[in-house]
Amino acid sequence: MKPYRLIRLCALGCLLGGGAVDAVAQYSFTPSPSAAARRIARSEAPFARPLGEVLDEAAARFGVRIDCRDFAPDTCLLRYADARVRPYSLDETLDNLLRPLDLKWERQGAKIRVRPYEYHRRTDDDGEKLLAWLASQYADSVAWERRAAEVREDARHILRLEPFLRGAVADPTVKLGAVERHDGYTTQNYALETLPGLYVCGTIYAPETRGRHPLIVSPAGHWPEGRYRPDQQYRMATFARMGAVAVDLDIVAWGESEQQLGIEAHHAPYAMQLQVLWSKLVTDWILRTRDDLDPQRMAATGGSGGATHTLLLALVDGRFAVLAPVVHLVSHFDGGCPCESGRPIAWAAGGSCTTELLAAVMAPKPVLTVSDGGDWTHTYPSLEYPYLRRIWSFYGKTDAVENAHFADERHDYGVNKRAAVYRFFAEQLGLDAAAVDESKVSIRPAEALCSFTQGWPAGAIRSAAELERILDKLQ
């Protein structure tokens, strides 16, 4: 007999990648069983079988392939396993086998995919029911504003940003790179000290024209290459060619930040607060130090996780007049990365979602949401967008919230999505739409967009452990 691991509640939670699994506790054998548990084990252990074995039999019985790549099914011991099989129904069999272990299943083409419960991913139906319930809470602007204030306040409370703001360096060290000239715009790298010895790095894309310009802040998403990838360079440089000062920034422990902290810091509990702190401090710093900005025309945009951080920036800084979150912020998906949903703000005010939070932060200001048919935003035209339009209609500004949907596209901030955002920002910020020409943009290697290629300055944090000692003092 294989030496099956004795499963405890928390141990299985780790094996399965998180989430409490109350249901399995009653089926488990603990390392120090009580007398009652020992009696149960003696009398019923023969009926317990490893899940992997039972799933293999189910796959053969029903002629399907069952994929459990996200966990090790043979580490799960399931009592009364055979009693749960329904020979006439694959669906019922899988439900009976998997639900007690907090596992879920779905059909993916010809195979069955089994996964641990994911707190951040719900079904489209869940999203529809949630939006319907939320919409029933308010029928006019008065009721909506009462709810919106509650959602904003609770989301800020859940985020717990204050200790991080208190710990921010009052007189930060700033490293500014040389101003590089390109076709119709300039670039300048920056590194801004945030907490003591901790830098956020990014690039400022600026127009060559004089006068006061709109500001566009763009937190990066989780895509490989971070803010160095070509689609972000096209976008930021084109914003500048159109007449805006556009500034981007690394996400925590990504890009140059990864060199300072190591990638593990991106998955730490503090990643979300740190990311919001960075977006806020970069915004404050650039407004404080440049005299060519118009604070009445501030916008933010980002794709995927960058959309979450666009929303979070607007949540903590009410000066943003225009927002363009791209391929994210739906009613049934919260991101799942600690930097996006480690603090569960989407559950604010007794039950919410990022769609409602977007409305609470922005209605009735201009917002463009961009979605596609190839990711979780495929529901946008039928679910989230009508919900948002109804809230904007309370103010007689239904047309101020827009949706550009690309049914045949996948999860990216690609050329068609960028074109939609160029048009929207041109209209809302008074930018020059005729200047949109991505062929004029110089795509530069990652090193050319970094600040510390020659090494880190004295006093710079060089590990997540160093950062965590600073954070411990802030709490």
**Residues within the interface to Zn ion (CB under 5 A):** 337, 339
Shortest distance, position 409 Cβ to Zn ion, whole Å: 22
Shortest distance, position 475 Cβ to Zn ion, whole Å: 22
Query: How many other C-beta atoms lie within 10 A of the C-beta of residue 428?
Result: 21
Q: 144 vs 376, which CB is nearer to Zn ion?
A: 376
Shortest distance, position 130 Cβ to Zn ion, whole Å: 23
Q: 298 vs 339, which CB is nearer to Zn ion?
A: 339
Shortest distance, position 139 Cβ to Zn ion, whole Å: 37
Q: 226 vs 364, which CB is nearer to Zn ion?
A: 226
Shortest distance, position 279 Cβ to Zn ion, whole Å: 13
Q: 271 vs 368, which CB is nearer to Zn ion?
A: 271
Q: 94 vs 251, which CB is nearer to Zn ion?
A: 251
Q: 316 vs 339, which CB is nearer to Zn ion?
A: 339
Query: Residue 188 is encoded by which pair of tokens?
Result: 């300048």
Shortest distance, position 263 Cβ to Zn ion, whole Å: 10
Q: 286 vs 316, which CB is nearer to Zn ion?
A: 316
Shortest distance, position 222 Cβ to Zn ion, whole Å: 5
Shortest distance, position 154 Cβ to Zn ion, whole Å: 22
- What's the CA gap between 377 and 178, in Å, rounded? 40
Q: 337 vs 449, which CB is nearer to Zn ion?
A: 337
